[in-house]
Amino acid sequence: MKNPINEKIAETAQNLNSFRDYKQGSATAQYKTLVAEFKTAVETLKKRANLLDAEREEKLELVDYYIGKYANKLANAINRENTIRASCPSVMICGPANFPTRKKEKQNAAMDKFWQECGDLFSPTDNYYFKKIENILLNKTIYSGDALAIEKLEIKLADLTEFQEEMKSANAYYRKNKTMKGYAELTDEEAEKLDNAIVNGYSWEQRPYPSYKLTNNNGKIKQTRDRLERLKAEKAMGDVDYDCSDLGFTVKENKEIMRLQLFFEGKPDEETRKVLKSNGFKWSPSQGAWQRQLTNNARWALKNYIVKQLRADF
């Protein structure tokens, strides 16, 4: 299998930015280490997952797909980072005389953009692909039709906000002290490991949390807050009932349990039950209704499939 890492550009990047000789294969080793950490974390998720036999094969195939996507994206990111680093030498290497200042500014801007777009790939358990796999295996997605969606989103928002403040606090401490020793409840050993990770890390930013992490987390905060406000506004509207008595049932948007409910005058015939089931509705003895999660997809299915199909039969 062809090595996806461009060792030549990695060596050039090292030579233009450091007096230390490039160790052949180190960029490839970095890539393999991160992919291995990613796969190990995924295997841990698999052990925690409780997959039904009916969904196991399909879900594991999807997991393998995202593992491959992560490996490919990471290889491209490493090559892209080294290409940017190789685009202009460090002033320490070439000296201040006739130094291409404008070129260096462009390089710095490109590196900032790179970390904004790709930085999370260098964190094996804190990137888009791992989160997708986590949602697939552990069903961690918060659905708007979940009766506890507001409570779950409020917890998520609080956690994200707390993490944002923690990152700012840690960065401010390191900026002032140039070490993490003495910060919060860190032991000296933990602080020393963190100091080494900062100095030898993948980001050129010398701080515990690079700016891309704060930007990405802030984006998650805004997204979660907006979604929470929309859901609260919908619940505040209260239940909505509308009449389909010509088809033998009434409809209720039950905001308390977030279900779209169909109440029939009696037991629907076999053909009607088949239409309901094929559109995701299930019988709930406790509610005395045919129902599914209250989402726009559910409303659309009711209007464009169930009502149309039943009217065609009447």
Burial class from Cβ neighbours inside 10 Å (0-12, 13-18, 19+) for residue 178 reads exposed
Residue with tokens 């490919």, as numbered in its chain: 72
Burial class from Cβ neighbours inside 10 Å (0-12, 13-18, 19+) for residue 289 reads buried
Both tokens assigned to 29: 């080793």
If residue 21 lies in a helix (H) or strand (E), which one and from where to where?
Answer: none
Contact by Cβ (8 Å): 222, 161: no
Contact by Cβ (8 Å): 264, 248: yes
C-alpha–C-alpha distance, residues 216 and 120, integer Å: 9
C-alpha–C-alpha distance, residues 281 and 209, integer Å: 46
Residue with tokens 């840690």, as numbered in its chain: 170
Contacts of 161 (CB under 8 A, 6+ apart): 221
C-alpha–C-alpha distance, residues 281 and 261, integer Å: 9
* pLDDT tens digits, one per residue of 56-80: 787 888 899 899 999 999 999 999 9
Give the pLDDT confidence score for residue 203 in this predicted structure.
65
Contacts of 300 (CB under 8 A, 6+ apart): none
Rounded to an integer, the average pLDDT of 7-24 is 91
Burial class from Cβ neighbours inside 10 Å (0-12, 13-18, 19+) for residue 161 reads middle
* pLDDT tens digits, one per residue of 142-187: 666 666 778 788 888 988 998 899 999 999 999 999 999 988 877 8
The reported pTM is 0.55
Annotate 220-240 with b (16+ C-beta within 10 A) or e (fewer): bbeebbebbeebeebeeeeee
Q: What is the CA radius of gyration of the chain?
A: 27
C-alpha–C-alpha distance, residues 221 and 232, integer Å: 16
* pLDDT tens digits, one per residue of 200-228: 876 677 889 888 889 989 999 999 999 88
Annotate 80-117 with b (16+ C-beta within 10 A) or e (fewer): bbbbbbbbbbeeeeeeeeeeeeeeeeebeebbbebbee
Percent of the chain with pLDDT over 90: 41
User: Mean pLDDT over all residues of the chain?
Assistant: 87
C-alpha–C-alpha distance, residues 284 and 272, integer Å: 16
Both tokens assigned to 123: 């964190």
C-alpha–C-alpha distance, residues 37 and 39, integer Å: 6
In eight-state DSSP terms, residue 292 is E
Contact by Cβ (8 Å): 60, 52: no
Inform me whether the pLDDT recorded for 193 exceeds 70: yes
* pLDDT tens digits, one per residue of 271-293: 899 999 989 999 999 899 999 98
